[in-house]
C-alpha cells in the first residue's frame, strides 16, 4: 500500500525541518514587527522577517523558499536583539538558505561573476559569499 502525502503534509514537514535546523521556535512569535522594523536590509526583501515567520507558522513553506529574503539577510541578529520572545529571524532565514543549498541548486553561479571582480575583491569576501550562495 502506497501512502500519498498531500502538499500541506510535505510543507508541514519542511517547516518542522526549518525549526530543527534553525533551533528556533517560531511559534513563539506574536507578530509585533520589531524584527522587520530593525532589519537594516528589510527594504530589499520580498517578504520582511516578521512575515516570513508568519508564513512558516501557517505552513506556507513554498512562499518562504520563493522569496529573496533568505539571500538578502546579512545575519546581523538585529531581529533577535529586538524580539521580546527571543526568536531569531536570521537563524530561520539561514536554515531556509541551508535547506535550499542542500538540494544542490546554487543561488549564484561562480561562472557568472566578472573576472575583474574576482581579481579585486578581498579573498575573505569571496569565500564568505561562496559559503552563503553556493552549495
- Give residue-wise pLDDT tens across range 75-105: 999 999 999 999 999 999 999 988 888 887 7
121 in the same domain as 85 = no
- Give residue-wise pLDDT tens across range 6-36: 556 556 778 888 889 999 998 899 999 999 9
**For residue 88, what are the CA distances in angstroms to 3, 11, 35, 91?**
35, 21, 8, 5
- Give residue-wise pLDDT tens across range 35-66: 999 999 999 999 999 999 999 999 888 899 89
81 in the same domain as 16 = yes
76 in the same domain as 24 = yes
Decide if 56 contacts 27 (C-beta within 8 A).
no
Question: How many CB atoms within 10 Å of residue 24?
Answer: 23
pLDDT at 86: 94
CATH code at position 86: 1.10.1060
Looking at the domain assignment, is residue 1 inside a domain? no
Amino acid at each position: 500500500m502506497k501512502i500519498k502525502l498531500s502538499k500541506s503534509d510535505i510543507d508541514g514537514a519542511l517547516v518542522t525541518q526549518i525549526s530543527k535546523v534553525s533551533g528556533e521556535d517560531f511559534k513563539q512569535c506574536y507578530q509585533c514587527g520589531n524584527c522587520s522594523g530593525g532589519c537594516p536590509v528589510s527594504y530589499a526583501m520580498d517578504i520582511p522577517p516578521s512575515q516570513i515567520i508568519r508564513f512558516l507558522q501557517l505552513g506556507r513553506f513554498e512562499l518562504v523558499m520563493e522569496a529573496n529574503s533568505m539571500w538578502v539577510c546579512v545575519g546581523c541578529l538585529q531581529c533577535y536583539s529586538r524580539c521580546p520572545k527571543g526568536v531569531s529571524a536570521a537563524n530561520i532565514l539561514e536554515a531556509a538558505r541551508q535547506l535550499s543549498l542542500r538540494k544542490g541548486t546554487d543561488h549564484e553561479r561562480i561562472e557568472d561573476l566578472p573576472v575583474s571582480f574576482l581579481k579585486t575583491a578581498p579573498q575573505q569576501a569571496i569565500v564568505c559569499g561562496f559559503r552563503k550562495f553556493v552549495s
